[in-house]
Structure 1
Amino acid sequence: MDYKKLKKDIIAYSISIGIDKIGFASSDPFIEMKNLLLRQQSLGYQSGFEEKDIDKRTDPALIFDGPRSIIAIALAYPSKMKDAPRSKRGERRGIFCRASWGTDYHVLVREKLEQLAAYIDSRVSEARFKLMVDTGELVDRAVAERAGIGWSGKNCAIITPEFGSYVYLGEMITNLPFEPDEPMHDQCGECTKCIDICPTGALVQGGQLNAQRCIAFLTQTKGFLPDEFRGKIGNRLYGCDTCQTICPKNKGMDFHVHPEMEPDPEVVKPLLQPLLQISNREFKEKYGKISGSWRGKKPIQRNAILALAHFKEETAVCELIEVMQKDVRPEIRGTAAWAIGKIGGEDAKSALIKAQSVEQDTAVLLEIEKGLEFFTVQDGV
């Protein structure tokens, strides 16, 4: 088999099916990434969503029999929304991050990988593959960097010269010995804008992220959001783009080459108040196709409540009181109580006092107390 020719043919085929960038890497262990992950683990910086076995995350031979190379791909996604609705008093809106616009990228990237694998299989009958998109064992960023897709930026994203960091990544391990491409050298230079602007200081240094402080991670948690982050989440419902939008390498980067990635403005920038009472069925019907729905409606609803508090949206107080009184989930009742106090007003204060006399859950009672403390500050006590 002429693998040099096959590699050229694969590249040509990848372009024909809409893959925006492709690269080839060796299947050697990712030693530098392993050391970084071990440090992350020792510092308690991991999110908990990752594969827990660091050896599996960094050694292809532990998850695939006889790996010879890895093929990495990237798909460019849009950074700007056409006809984005405006958020205004009485009609406040939240926002999903750009990586959650359009059809779930896990589906889109996997489809491209499956097409690519089918093509290679048609050329080499003994070919074997293991496909991965985000939830696989390997670190997508490490593979993409080694394959020359882009360099690993200080914001912990792969940055490509052509598309900036607005790319979805995927890869396949294979038993075929493709010649590796040259990794791309770092082009961040002395720039630290992403580190400087991070709202929670999650970017501890270039290329190292404390996921426990990252807003993108925090928006996906299901419990009470820690107090120190409630004022920083803004109107984010899922994810955070701050370290991408500030990046000079992303200036002017906006690609609309995949129709499936185009955002529905009413889905990715939705009205907040309707989210408070949305049913599971309604949530699945409206949001089920985007990646930001993967944790269910609970985190989104909690974040919507915090966003209403961020806006101090007085028109939402009545609905928030109903949530505080009737929702069966303590995290949602409690967050509503905190938000009611944050927004303020006489109706808010009396509702909190009434709730305090009937609420049985200790965690919710604590949130009610926090809500009432806002009035103490307002009254100058």
Structure 2
Amino acid sequence: MTGAQLKEKVVAYSKSIGIDKIGFTTADPFVELKERLRTQQELGFQSGFEEADIEKRTEPELLLPKARSIISIALAYPSKMKDAPRSTKEDRRGIFCRASWGRDYHDVLRERMNKLQQYILELDPEAKVVSMVDTGELSDRAVAERAGIGWSGKNCATITPEFGSYVYLGELITTIPFPPDQPISDQCGTCNKCVDACPTGALVTGGQLDSNKCIAFLTQTKGFLPEQYREKLGNRLYGCDTCQQVCPENKGMDFHHHAEMEPDPELAKPKLKPLLTIRNREFKEKFGPVSGSWRGKKPIQRNAIIALGNFKDETALPELIYVLTEDPRPVIRGTAAWALGKIKGSQAENALKQAKEREKDKDVLDEINRSLKMVENQAIS
């Protein structure tokens, strides 16, 4: 069979296994991406989660010798939750971003790509195929853009005409010379809504992201969250959807094609207070299947404490005081001190004063002292 005939069969098969969109491109180097990545490195805009070797990120033949093509796939995920639970004054809730709803998308995509890879090898047993998603060396978005899946939006997301930017991406590098598809031209035009709406100004300009300011990145860090970002975190536990939610291309986009991507409302919008004392085993059993758990419970707990502080939730005082006095982790104790300072009141003040007498960690003491000043300033005013 010719490359064109093989492509036709692969496209038809992809639809039969629930792949929402598929595109093909060459395995040529990603020259423009290489320059952008070098600029990102020079500016210090990288998160540290990505592959550090720029050559591997932009030279497919380094990942598969004699590579000729790359197949990009996209699966659409829901943007709206059915029967979403309400946050109440007695039980405030946090939120996981949409990309963490349902079962971990890495697993879902790998299952589809494994089937596609097996089918390709049945068609051409001599072919070589390497698949990857998110944690692989290649840039999923750069591949998708060149393969005609969508264009790269100013929010740094791949925007598809059919599904907006609510898509998961993966790719397969292969030695088969498939005919490439045409890229889609940029459709953002003069629209700047995502850049204007970014809570922390992480979208420096359209298409350039300072990862260190991005809330989606900050929710995944394990240390103290810089104070200037705590209020901006709101009640987010993992990820941030703001730049997608304001995008006009996403208006009305909500797809429920895959049962495994449907969110469990109690996991996607969990109650905050129980998260503060959740045990490791319970956390793994409950949240382990979702992608937002990949960094463990510590970032989620820290973010839950910040959310309770932002809500000024007085009903959470017992849990926050317990964490401040009993948790062995300085980041969690210090963040609880900050939340108590936000909530204020005599109970919070007394707890902070008592903790100050016992606390040995300098960072936690700094948080306690700052919170005590907040409480005292309120009393004066």
Please confirm whether the aligned pair reaches a TM-score higher than 0.5, indicating the same fold.
yes
* CA–CA distance in structure 1, aligned partners of residues 136 and 218 of structure 2: 21
Question: Cα offset for 1:376?
Answer: 2.7
Match of 1:371 in 2: 371
Secondary structure of 1:93's partner? Answer: coil
Question: Cα offset for 1:374?
Answer: 1.0
* CA–CA distance in structure 2, aligned partners of residues 239 and 211 of structure 1: 12
* CA–CA distance in structure 1, aligned partners of residues 130 and 183 of structure 2: 22
* CA–CA distance in structure 2, aligned partners of residues 2 and 218 of structure 1: 48
Question: Cα offset for 1:124?
Answer: 0.3
Match of 2:350 in 1: 350
* CA–CA distance in structure 2, aligned partners of residues 119 and 317 of structure 1: 57
Secondary structure of 2:170's partner? Answer: strand
Question: Cα offset for 1:349?
Answer: 0.1
Secondary structure of 2:72's partner? Answer: strand
* CA–CA distance in structure 2, aligned partners of residues 205 and 342 of structure 1: 33
> Following superposition of structure 1 onto structure 2, how do residues 292-371 of structure 1 map, counting pairs within 5 Å?
292-371=292-371
> Following superposition of structure 1 onto structure 2, how do residues 151-162 of structure 1 map, counting pairs within 5 Å?
151-162=151-162
* CA–CA distance in structure 1, aligned partners of residues 211 and 255 of structure 2: 28
Match of 2:71 in 1: 71
Match of 1:193 in 2: 193
**For 1:114-173, what per-residue CA distance to the aligned partner results, in whole angstroms no more than 9, with x for missing partners?**
100000101101111111100000000000000000000000000000000000000010
> Following superposition of structure 1 onto structure 2, how do residues 168-207 of structure 1 map, counting pairs within 5 Å?
168-207=168-207
Match of 2:242 in 1: 242
Secondary structure of 2:6's partner? Answer: helix
* CA–CA distance in structure 1, aligned partners of residues 233 and 223 of structure 2: 15
Secondary structure of 1:131's partner? Answer: strand
Question: Cα offset for 1:380?
Answer: 3.3
Are 2:136 and 1:123 aligned?
Answer: no
Question: Cα offset for 1:310?
Answer: 0.7
Question: Cα offset for 1:65?
Answer: 1.0
Match of 2:251 in 1: 251
Match of 1:27 in 2: 27
Structure 1: which 5+ residue stretches go unaligned?
none
Aligned length: 381
* CA–CA distance in structure 1, aligned partners of residues 134 and 165 of structure 2: 15
Structure 2: which 5+ residue stretches go unaligned?
none
**For 1:1-56, what per-residue CA distance to the aligned partner results, in whole angstroms no more than 9, with x for missing partners?**
31111100100000000000000011111011111110100000000001000111
Secondary structure of 1:237's partner? Answer: strand
> Following superposition of structure 1 onto structure 2, how do residues 202-241 of structure 1 map, counting pairs within 5 Å?
202-241=202-241
Question: Cα offset for 1:90?
Answer: 1.1
RMSD of the TM alignment (CA)?
0.7
* CA–CA distance in structure 2, aligned partners of residues 151 and 225 of structure 1: 33
Secondary structure of 1:173's partner? Answer: strand
Secondary structure of 1:22's partner? Answer: strand
Report the AA paired with residue 137 of structure 1: E
Question: Cα offset for 1:62?
Answer: 1.4
Report the AA paired with residue 62 of structure 2: L
**For 1:160-211, what per-residue CA distance to the aligned partner results, in whole angstroms no more than 9, with x for missing partners?**
0000000000001001100110000000010000000000000001110000
* CA–CA distance in structure 1, aligned partners of residues 136 and 380 of structure 2: 54
Aligned-pair identity in percent equals: 66
Question: Cα offset for 1:370?
Answer: 1.5
Match of 1:140 in 2: 140
**For 1:255-290, what per-residue CA distance to the aligned partner results, in whole angstroms no more than 9, with x for missing partners?**
001000000000010000000000000000110000
Question: Cα offset for 1:373?
Answer: 1.6
* CA–CA distance in structure 1, aligned partners of residues 240 and 374 of structure 2: 27
Question: Cα offset for 1:377?
Answer: 2.2
Report the AA paired with residue 360 of structure 1: K
* CA–CA distance in structure 1, aligned partners of residues 159 and 380 of structure 2: 50
